[in-house]
Structure 1
Amino acid sequence: MGKSCEIKLLGAAPSHFVNRVQFVLNLKSIEYEFIDENLNCKSELLLTSNPVHKKVPVLIHANKPPILESLIIIEYLDEVYHDIHPILPSDPLERAHNRFWANYIDTKYFALFEELRRTPGQEGKKEVKKQLDEASELLEEVFVKSSNGKAYFGGDDVGYIDVVLGCFLAWIKFVEKLNKFKIFDEVRTPKLLEWTNRIWSHEALKDAICGSEALTNHYAMLQIKKP
């Protein structure tokens, strides 16, 4: 994007946390400048913008202090640009419900993928896969209740949980191929499988997801760093 944009996003293409911010920016048709960070050699801008965690994403909006953490960033964008494609529901109880499941996805569901990556041996991985199946079935129930028979977690259009989980789909597909098993399938999670196909083709998501080569390279880097 043009350098005159008042919004700058510090990120790295293989990060689904970065991708979810890009997804929201696209949904709201907000122009921004993407600053691609080399996570093996972090820029001074990143280190000074996020001195605590030194991680992406970081959103810089005009001359305001940097905004950190993907969920905080997308909620900030939703509040500032609330008239354009709101992603959080207006009802306080529904917002609380959305935030609970977003936290579950980030702290519990994604953690199982990291555990699968770190777990040696097929027997150990088999147990993690079982936990992933159970967690995916739970998310299937959440989708059925949240969508109320409509296309997305958010109902008729993409909402908060759609953004949070949707931007992890590239990694889910990568993990499925690598480990030769299905995370979402027709028997256990038929509605989520339909949702996956639907959101994967969403115009606002296409530019926010990196290709398989970048994921492969990033995964190889993670494996090298694995303790």
Structure 2
Amino acid sequence: MATSEEEVTLLGVVGSPFLCRVQIALKLKGVEYKYVEDNLNNKSDLLLKYNPVYKKVPVLVHNEKPISESLVILEYIDDTWKHNPILPAQPYQRALARFWSNFIDDKCVAPAWKSVFLVDEKEKEKAGEELFEALKFLENELKDKYFGGEEIGFVDIAAVFIPIVQEVAGLQLFTSEKFPKLFKWSQDFHNHPIVEENLPPKDQLFAYFQARAQSLATPK
């Protein structure tokens, strides 16, 4: 648990899957924190101060020390608050967890964004095919109830993005016929009390994706 001497602040935008990752990890650890809402189209001075390089949320600020990028934040949380670990103890298994989490960001997140935002139907179809191929790898990797075994772990938290995109875009990414293990995982994962508690309503998710699309389309 975070002690009274510790100051933990989380900068984010409601509806962000990347914010959800951090919130789930903090909740699993029982870490109390102050949440500060930011704006994708009008970034606060606080965000620019704590993340001047990427100017993105989420940012975790622990005793005035900022950490950015959601997967980096997850590792920091696990290293700082040792109870209820989300990364495996064994080095090889830890390396695999990092590998598959990076795979999700590299091979699933990008085509998922395109599947939501692209207007060109051919490009949208291509992105959908890329995502389908990536999901086949994840289907084969899933051996237990969760990627982390019988309890939620690092890869599960990283993968929160995928079913959220399905929810917002109405994409049938997970079907019991095409991906039976991932379909069951998505049901179990989203019905977990901590995950369910930290997933924003669909209207907030949709608002985030719309704002994100506008932000990406606006020349910097």
Determine helix, strand or coil for the equivalent of 1:140: helix
Q: Is the 8 A contact 1:5 1:33 kept in 2?
A: no
1:169 to 149, 163, 166: 163
Residues 110-129 of structure 1: pairs in structure 2 closer than 5 A = 110-129=109-128
- Alpha-carbon distance change, 221 to 202 in structure 1, aligned in 2, over 3 angstroms: same
Q: Distance in 2 between matches of 1:202 and 1:195?
A: 11
2:26 equivalent in structure 1: 25
Equivalenced residues, count:
214
Alpha-carbon deviations, 1:79-135, whole Å to 9, x = none? 1111x2100001100111110111110122101012223433333322322222221
TM-score (norm 2): 0.90
- Report the RMSD for the aligned CA atoms in angstroms: 1.9
Q: Distance in 1 between matches of 2:163 and 2:5?
A: 32
1:197 equivalent in structure 2: 187
Q: Is the 8 A contact 1:13 1:209 kept in 2?
A: no
> Which runs of no fewer than 5 residues in structure 1 stay unpaired?
none
Q: Is the 8 A contact 1:57 1:68 kept in 2?
A: yes
| Residue identity in the other structure for 2:167 | K
1:137 equivalent in structure 2: 136
Determine helix, strand or coil for the equivalent of 1:9: strand
Q: How far 1:75 moved relative to its partner?
A: 0.6
- Percent identical across equivalent pairs? 35
Q: Distance in 2 between matches of 1:168 and 1:131?
A: 13
| Residue identity in the other structure for 1:186 | S
| Residue identity in the other structure for 2:146 | Y
| Residue identity in the other structure for 2:67 | I
Residues 86-125 of structure 1: pairs in structure 2 closer than 5 A = 86-125=85-124
TM-score (norm 1): 0.87
Q: Is the 8 A contact 1:58 1:66 kept in 2?
A: yes
- Alpha-carbon distance change, 129 to 218 in structure 1, aligned in 2, over 3 angstroms: same
